[in-house]
């Protein structure tokens, strides 16, 4: 049976108190609505209708590149979930013999496997409608599943419309449904606004079908998968669950995670076997880490590509950059804006590197700034070296040939080129290029004046001649 997906994402999300639509708020770096979309893909749908309304352009921009998505506009974002689904009517009418799977856009925890299992049951038992439910200890805020004496579903009652007795029901609606498309189209026309809220409820479609004797049933999902995110407390709860799943999937693939409850790994991050992630590490965006690495405590990797056997020592920050195999970074290093740290290179404490290619085996181990530079292989950058790349108006490049040596506390004023095997003596200011194999030294003359220590001179006066 062909499948159409519908994601409800037009609501205002009032309880979120946000300028941005609720469904684009991020969970592990992805907009909330990505997760129901991903679950739908497991059913290989023909199309996924996304119903947008409140700040539609923002939702559209987030999902614009997702395959199979077609947007439908709901003028009244308080029209209710039934009104929202009816906006996809033009799509549904094209495939009357399909099954339509409707998912709330604010429910990110439904697993693709659970959706698939429910959908298979819908097919196998030739149901007309299926609704995903769970038993909750505290069902507050959810629609309750009302059954008759023989256990058949007869209605879903929203909390605001429920009687005292109905409110005590612990089985709730997860906001995930499968319908035979032609039947859904039929009943959508008949839905009436709730007297309590003025909203048209999709859940009433379930009730109408049940009343008319169609085969309506429930699929029990693990309660964790039902969480609807209505405010930022629930946003944090949902993210915690997704994070636990993400970290467990890494652990099953052979990654060691120390104190996993302190580690934050976003959805798209990948990590190779036998890599160890220490407490409080953060892996954001499109980060990939190879095999046998160590990601040190408190380090942050953002869109970082890390090779095999790399050691990122504690409290380092690598963003939009690549660190090749065998390199050592940190502790307390910062590497940003398109750097490439070569194989086996070492970038140590309090070294900042920006838009720099740093050759294999090169070392900058202490207190340096390298910006807009191309550094060859086997180069030694001493402590406190600064590449002055900015003249106040423009940025300029620095080039350093293989095996050059830059002594401690030197200032290289860009644009500048240091040739292969060139040697800059410690404390030099280099403002023009140095040819290969040359020694560059710029130093004021050192004077040594015997017995002129000024402290001792002052003391001599006050102590009336008594020397230590
Ligand atoms: C809904 C269900 C409730 C269920 C709960 C599960 C209805 C009437 N109620 O309640 O039975 O237990 O989800 O989380 O369906 N939306 C629109 N247009 C609208 C209104 C909502 O697109 O006019 C979207 C929202 O953006 C949201 C989703 O539909 O993604 C659910 O809406 P929400 O208002 O959060 O419904 P709940 O009160 O949580
Ligand atoms: Ca909700």
Asked whether residue 452 is domain-assigned, the answer is no
Does 261 share its domain with 385?
Answer: yes
User: Does residue 74 line the site of ligand 1, with CB under 6 A?
Assistant: yes
User: Does residue 51 line the site of ligand 1, with CB under 6 A?
Assistant: yes
What per-residue confidence (pLDDT) applies to 35? 98
How far is it, in rounded angstroms, from Cα 453 to Cα 434? 38
Asked whether residue 359 is domain-assigned, the answer is yes
Where does a domain end: 199, 226, 253? 226
pLDDT of residue 462 exceeding 80: no
Does 117 share its domain with 80?
Answer: yes
pLDDT of residue 468 exceeding 60: no
Q: What is the Cβ-side half-sphere exposure of residue 40, based on CA atoms within 13 angstroms?
A: 34
How far is it, in rounded angstroms, from Cα 225 to Cα 133? 10
228-282 pLDDT tens trace: 999 999 999 999 999 999 999 999 999 999 999 999 999 999 999 999 999 999 9
Binning the chain into helix, strand and coil, the percentages to the nearest 5 are: 25, 30, 50
For ligand 1, pick from 11, 14, 18 the residue to mutate: most ligand atoms within 8 Å of CB.
Answer: 11
CATH number at residue 48: 3.90.550.10
**Rounded mean pLDDT, 395-413:** 98
Residues contacting residue 55 through CB under 8 Å, at least 6 positions apart: 20, 21
What is the three-class DSSP state of 21?
coil
Catalytic pick among 25, 54, 280, 366: 366
Does 176 share its domain with 211?
Answer: yes
User: Does residue 173 line the site of ligand 1, with CB under 6 A?
Assistant: yes
Does 210 share its domain with 290?
Answer: no
Strands 398-400, 3-9: pairing is unpaired
Q: Report which ligand 1 atom has the smallest distance to the Cα of 227.
A: 14
Which residue's C-alpha comes closest to atom 9 of ligand 1? 143
159-209 pLDDT tens trace: 999 999 999 999 999 999 999 999 999 999 999 999 988 999 999 999 999
Distance 330 CA to ligand 2 centre (A): 44
Asked whether residue 424 is domain-assigned, the answer is yes
β-bridge mates for residue 424, sequence order: 406, 440
Does 162 share its domain with 269?
Answer: no
Does 395 share its domain with 341?
Answer: yes
Which residue's C-alpha comes closest to atom 31 of ligand 1? 104
Which residue's C-alpha comes closest to atom 22 of ligand 1? 10
For ligand 1, pick from 5, 7, 8 the residue to mutate: most ligand atoms within 8 Å of CB.
Answer: 8
**Rounded mean pLDDT, 209-236:** 96
Does 114 share its domain with 161?
Answer: yes
Backbone angles phi, psi at 301, to 5 degrees: -115, 125
Does 300 share its domain with 436?
Answer: yes
Tell me how far CA of residue 184 lies from CA of 3, 94, 181, 242, 318, in angstroms: 13, 13, 5, 32, 51
Q: Report which ligand 1 atom has the smallest distance to the Cα of 107.
A: 14
Q: How confident is the model at residue 412 (pLDDT cuts 50, 70, 90)?
A: very high
175: left (phi over 0), alpha (psi -120 to 50) or beta: left
User: Does residue 122 line the site of ligand 1, with CB under 6 A?
Assistant: no
Distance 230 CA to ligand 2 centre (A): 5
- The reply to whether 280 belongs to the active site is no
Asked whether residue 464 is domain-assigned, the answer is no
Q: How confident is the model at residue 92 (pLDDT cuts 50, 70, 90)?
A: very high
Does 68 share its domain with 136?
Answer: yes
Q: Report which ligand 1 atom has the smallest distance to the Cα of 11.
A: 26
Closest to 56 (Cα-Cα) out of 36, 84, 29, 30: 84
CATH number at residue 321: 2.160.10.10
Residues contacting residue 165 through CB under 8 Å, at least 6 positions apart: none
Distance 21 CA to ligand 1 centre (A): 14
Asked whether residue 462 is domain-assigned, the answer is no
**Rounded mean pLDDT, 374-394:** 97
pLDDT of residue 461 exceeding 90: no
Provide the domain limits for residue 341.
Answer: 245-440
Does 185 share its domain with 151?
Answer: yes
Lowest-confidence range among 13-17, 280-284, 402-406? 13-17
285-343 pLDDT tens trace: 999 999 999 999 999 999 999 999 999 999 999 999 999 999 999 999 999 999 999 99
Per the structure, the count of domains in the chain is 2
Cα dihedral 285, 286, 290, 291 sign? positive
Are 278 and 314 in contact, with CB atoms under 8 Å apart?
A: yes
Backbone angles phi, psi at 123, to 5 degrees: -70, -50
User: Does residue 204 line the site of ligand 1, with CB under 6 A?
Assistant: no
Asked whether residue 110 is domain-assigned, the answer is yes
User: Does residue 142 line the site of ligand 1, with CB under 6 A?
Assistant: yes
Provide the whole-model pTM. Answer: 0.94
Asked whether residue 465 is domain-assigned, the answer is no
User: Does residue 108 line the site of ligand 1, with CB under 6 A?
Assistant: no
302-317 pLDDT tens trace: 999 999 999 999 999 9
Strands 144-147, 153-157: pairing is antiparallel
Does 31 share its domain with 163?
Answer: yes
User: Does residue 356 line the site of ligand 1, with CB under 6 A?
Assistant: no
User: Does residue 88 line the site of ligand 1, with CB under 6 A?
Assistant: no
Does 289 share its domain with 397?
Answer: yes
Tell me how far CA of residue 206 lies from CA of 103, 145, 216, 248, 329, in angstroms: 14, 10, 7, 36, 58
Distance 334 CA to ligand 1 centre (A): 44
pLDDT of residue 467 exceeding 70: no
């Amino acid at each position: 049976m062909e499948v159409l997906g519908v994601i409800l994402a037009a609501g205002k999300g009032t309880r979120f108190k946000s300028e941005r639509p609720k469904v684009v708020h991020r969970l592990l770096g992805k907009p909330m609505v990505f997760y129901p979309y991903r679950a739908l893909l497991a059913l290989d749908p023909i199309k996924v209708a996304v119903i947008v309304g409140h700040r539609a352009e923002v939702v559209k921009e987030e999902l614009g590149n997702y395959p199979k998505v077609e947007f439908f506009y709901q003028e009244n974002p308080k029209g209710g979930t039934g009104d929202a689904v009816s906006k996809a009517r033009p799509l549904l009418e094209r495939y009357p013999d399909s099954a339509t799977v409707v998912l709330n856009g604010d429910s990110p925890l439904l697993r693709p496997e659970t959706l698939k299992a429910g959908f298979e049951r819908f097919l196998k038992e030739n149901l007309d409608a299926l609704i995903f439910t769970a038993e909750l200890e505290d069902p507050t805020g959810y629609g309750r599943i009302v059954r008759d004496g023989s256990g058949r579903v007869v209605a879903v009652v929203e909390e605001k419309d429920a009687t005292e007795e109905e409110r005590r029901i612990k089985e709730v609606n997860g906001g995930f449904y499968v319908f035979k498309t032609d039947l859904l189209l039929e009943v959508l026309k008949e839905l009436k606004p709730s007297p309590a809220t003025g909203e048209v409820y999709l859940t009433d479609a379930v009730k109408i079908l049940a009343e008319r004797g169609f085969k309506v049933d429930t699929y029990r999902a693990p309660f964790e998968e039902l969480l609807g995110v209505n405010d930022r407390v629930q946003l944090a709860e949902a993210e915690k669950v997704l994070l636990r799943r993400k970290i467990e999937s890494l652990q099953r693939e052979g990654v060691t995670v120390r104190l996993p409850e302190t580690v934050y790994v976003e959805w798209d991050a990948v990590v190779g076997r036998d890599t160890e992630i220490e407490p409080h590490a953060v892996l954001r965006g499109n980060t990939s880490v190879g095999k046998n690495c160590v990601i040190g405590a408190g380090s942050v990797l953002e869109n970082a590509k890390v090779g095999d056997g790399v050691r990122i020592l504690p409290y380092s920050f690598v963003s939009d950059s690549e660190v090749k195999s065998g390199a050592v970074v940190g502790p307390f290093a910062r590497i940003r804006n398109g750097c490439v740290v070569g194989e086996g290179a070492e970038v140590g404490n309090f070294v900042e590197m920006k838009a720099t290619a740093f050759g294999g085996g090169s070392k900058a181990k202490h207190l340096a700034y390298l910006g807009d530079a191309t550094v060859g292989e086997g180069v030694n950058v001493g402590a406190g070296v600064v590449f002055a790349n900015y003249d106040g108006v423009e940025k300029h490049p620095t080039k350093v040939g293989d095996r050059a040596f830059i002594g401690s506390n030197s200032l290289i004023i860009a644009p500048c080129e240091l040739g292969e095997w060139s040697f800059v003596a410690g404390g030099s200011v280099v403002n023009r290029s140095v040819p290969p194999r040359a020694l560059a030294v710029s130093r004021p003359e050192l004077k040594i004046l015997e017995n002129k220590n000024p402290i001792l001179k002052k003391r001599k006066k006050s102590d009336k001649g008594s020397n230590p």
